[in-house]
Chains A and B, each alone.
Chain A
Amino acid sequence: MINVETSSGGHSTPLQPSLRKWISIAPFVLDRKCSAWDNEAKWLPLSGEICKKSFLKFARYLYPTVICLLMIQLYHVYKSYEGSSAALSDITFTIAKGEFVFLTGPSGAGKTTLLKIVFGIERPTEGQIIVDGRNQSRINNRGVSLLRRKVGFVFQDFKLLPKKTVYENVALALEVIGVSPGEVRSKVQRILSYVGLRHRANFKPLSLSGGEQQRVAIARALVKQPAILLADEPTGNLDPELANSIVELFRDVNAMGTTVLMATHDKTLIERFGRRRIALDRGRIIG
């Protein structure tokens, strides 16, 4: 297995549960407009104005540091489509840098919509989404492109270009971010070996099996060494053995610092890999 570096260059290990929990709570404590803090400081279990002010001053300095440790933040996100019931209702959660999170729930629970919103394909009807420190409601078209260069997305339907070969499909992810041809060549060959498809480099996607196409999609998502990996049912078309190997691959990538949010309804996988879980049902977080 080859090394896949993270874009940040860091090799952080998954965060300790206690630290992760504190980071999850932190935004609710600290994500206030500074000017409003003094008025809203009644909730602080501190006595005396000086004490409160000192804490808030300290918190203001701490805030950027804490925010840096959060990769994905969703606050009261709603999504509804015209003529149908809400696809997402009051979704609030945070995912810390380097975390591996399973997004679970039955079909129609809103997993794909949620991933699309995080990736910027769809806009929420209401709520705030901050990915890698950028508030999605404030970024323009160019900002969306820049964000997507840091995020790898494995689509449920692969989204491969049928007229391009496996090699070209994977290479495109690097070409769009301006990597030099030589570097593209070496990185693509390396990632294709990593997913076991080097021998299929010159094949067109449609001549591959579903599992192989899935791995091409994974290779394309990973080749740019993303800070975040979003995967929508990446094991849905695979047999259990291959599904395990894909999740192991994600775990390796995660171990090298990439934050992973993977949607799946495969309970066996979730239990086997035992990571944090966000469960959705009918557009709401249920656990």
Chain B
Amino acid sequence: MGRSYSLLYILLESVRNIRDNGLTTIVTIVTIGFSLAIFTLFLLVSINISTVIQKWGEQIQVVVYLKDGIPRNEVGRLRKIISNVDGVDKVDYISKESALNILKRELKGYKGVLDAMVDNPLPLSFEVKINESYRSTDKIRYIVSKLEKLEWVDDMQYGREWVERFAGLLKFVELFTLVVGVFLTVAVVFIVSNTVKLAVYARKSEIEITRLIGASNLYIKSPFFVEGVFEGLVGGFMAAGLILLGVKIMSMNVPAMFLHLVAMPVRPLVLLCGLVVAGISFGVVGSMVSLGRFLKV
């Protein structure tokens, strides 16, 4: 077979098949499109929730209050010691003035209360940021036990309840994402592969007859390959369109505090490429696998 003629045949046959099996092609495209869109939307929300939780985690810190009268050179030395404790990411020094300013900022509507203060009663302190791998109750307790032994340390505050809640939430979100993600992946693969399989089944006799009159497997598979690429390509574009549209509609309608949950973590072009590749893989792999069983005659 002349190579150019073969390619021409494959393309013409694919166009003819897409035209002749219009409804099946549309159903396959819509299934691929919606399945990918649902899965991607889930991924998008999961990624955004993880990002938010990660940001919350960054707020986990231990505030170390220092005794009054600590010499200035001791502050620097203490800071160095705290920085070297396992699990400590960063140590910020908060002077009495800075502490007062922060308090003023936080008590904006109660200016009168602060005005009544003659002296600055707030102590010197360090805000100790905890490393990501140490954000659990036990590990923070270990850091606190190390810090409280230090000279000039008066008191400590680390919001034990908050850390415990955070650890619980993190565990739940991780588990939820994993379980739903697995279910959704299985469902999407099952739905798409079955739709593609049914589309191939609908042409079972055509495949068998073509094989019976001497067509090679490559000859039979080629148009299905092209059709799989076409369906996956259009399905991928459709999914990308649905997601971008969905995100746009949601971002216009959800309250501002939830906006970051529907933010796009990747560029639209990257999203489109990813979805098109996923769509084509579904279309082609599904077709080829389903086709295999009819090529044994």
Interface presence of A54 (CB below 8 A): no
Interface centre among B205, B209, B297 (most CB of A within 10 A): B209
B208 nearest in chain A by CB position: A159
Pair A172/B213 contact, Cβ less than 8 Å: yes
Chain A residues touching B, range:
20 to 34
Residues in chain A near residue B1, CB distance under 8 A:
177-178
Cβ contact within 8 Å between A149 and B5:
no
B162 interfacial by beta-carbon distance below 8 Å: no
A142 lies within 8 A of B9 (CB)? no
CB distance from A78 to the nearest CB of B (A): 21
In order of increasing CB-CB distance, the 3 nearest A-B pairs are A178-B1, A148-B214, A176-B215
CB contacts (< 8 Å) of B206 on chain A: these are: 161, 163
**Given A176-B210, A178-B6, A180-B2, A145:B217 Cβ within 8 A:** yes
Chain B residues whose C-beta falls within 8 Å of the C-beta of A142 in the assembled complex? 216-217
* Contacting residue for A172 out of B2, B210, B217, CB 8 A: B210
1/0 per residue A199-211: CB within 8 Å of B? 0000000000000
CA distance A257 to B193 in the complex (A): 49
Q: Mark contacts of A170-213 with chain B using CB atoms, 8 A cut-off: 1 yes-contact digit, 0 otherwise.
A: 00110111101100000000000000000000000000000000
CB distance from A92 to the nearest CB of B (A): 26
Question: Across the interface, do A145 and B297 meet the contact criterion of CB distance under 8 Å?
Answer: no
Question: Are B216 and A173 within 8 A (Cβ)?
Answer: no
Question: Is A41 an interface residue when CB atoms closer than 8 A count as contact?
Answer: no
Q: Which of A159, A177, A180 contacts B214, CB < 8 Å?
A: A177
Cα(A29)–Cα(B213), bound, Å: 35
Binding site for B on A (CB under 8 A): 119, 121, 141-142, 145-149, 153, 155, 159-161, 163, 172-173, 175-178, 180-181, 220, 224
CA distance A153 to B206 in the complex (A): 16
B295 in contact (CB, < 8 A): yes
- Of the candidates B2, B213, B297, which one forms a contact with A176 in the assembled complex, judged by CB atoms under 8 Å apart? B213
**Is the beta-carbon distance between A161 and B209 smaller than 8 angstroms?**
yes
Q: Which residues of B contact A147 (CB under 8 A)?
A: 214
B219 in contact (CB, < 8 A): yes
Nearest CB on B from A102, distance (A): 23
Chain A CB within 10 Å, residue with most, of B1, B2, B212, B214: B214
- A159-B209, A161-B209 are contacts. A173–B295 as well, Cβ < 8 Å? no
Task: Judge whether A176 and B295 touch: CB under 8 Å.
Answer: no
| Bound-state Cα–Cα, A161 to B6, Å | 21
Q: Tell me whether A163 and B20 are in contact in the complex, defined as CB-CB below 8 angstroms, given that A121-B212, A145-B215, A149-B214 are known contacts.
A: yes
Looking at the assembled complex, report how far the CB atom of A72 sits from the nearest CB atom of chain B, in whole angstroms: 17
A181 touching B209 by the CB < 8 A rule? no
Give every chain A residue within 8 A of B295 (Cβ-Cβ): 141
Further contacts, 15 of them, CB under 8 A, given A175-B9, A176-B215:
A121-B212, A142-B216, A142-B217, A145-B214, A145-B217, A146-B214, A159-B205, A159-B212, A161-B210, A163-B20, A172-B213, A176-B219, A177-B1, A178-B2, A178-B6
Do B217 and A180 touch (CB < 8 A)? no
Can you report 14 residue pairs joining A to B where beta carbons are below 8 Å apart?
Answer: A142-B216, A145-B214, A145-B216, A148-B214, A153-B212, A159-B209, A159-B212, A160-B209, A161-B206, A173-B213, A176-B213, A177-B1, A178-B1, A224-B214
A213, chain B: closest CB distance, angstroms? 13
CB <8 Å contact, A121 and B297: yes
- Shortest distance in angstroms between A105's beta carbon and chain B's nearest beta carbon? 23
Instruction: Say how far A148's CB is from chain B's closest CB, in angstroms.
Output: 4
Does B213 lie within 8 Å of A220, measured CB to CB? yes
**Which residues of A lie under 8 Å from residue B217 when comparing CB positions?**
141-142, 145
Shortest beta-carbon distance from B1 to chain A in Å: 3
Closest Cβ neighbor of A120 among chain B residues: B297
- How far apart sit A34 and B216, CA to CA, in the bound complex (Å)? 35
A145 to B20, CA, bound (A): 26
Question: Inside 8 A of A180's CB, which chain B residues have their CB?
Answer: 2, 5
Q: Which residues of A contact B219 (CB under 8 A)?
A: 176
With a CB–CB cut-off of 8 A, which chain B residues contact A163? Answer: 20, 206
Chain A proximity of B37: nearest CB distance (Å) = 32
Contact status of A148 and B213, CB under 8 A, knowing A161-B206, A163-B20, A176-B219: yes
| CB-nearest residue of chain B to A163 | B20
Q: How far is the CB of A113 from chain B (nearest CB, A)?
A: 14
Nearest CB on B from A202, distance (A): 15
Residues of B185-227 whose CB lies within 8 A of A: 205-206, 208-217, 219
Contact of A148 among B9, B20, B212 (CB under 8 A): B212
Residues on the B chain within 8 Å of A146, using CB: 214
CA distance A160 to B215 in the complex (A): 15
Chain A residue with Cβ nearest B297: A121
How many angstroms between the C-alpha atoms of A62 and B209 in the bound complex?
39
| Among B5, B208, B215, residue most surrounded by chain A Cβ atoms (within 10 Å) | B215
| Chain B residues positioned under 8 Å from A173 (CB to CB) | 213-214
Closest chain B residue to A168, Cβ basis: B16
Interface residues as binary, B256-297 with A (CB distance below 8 Å gives 1, 0 otherwise): 000000000000000000000000000000000000000101
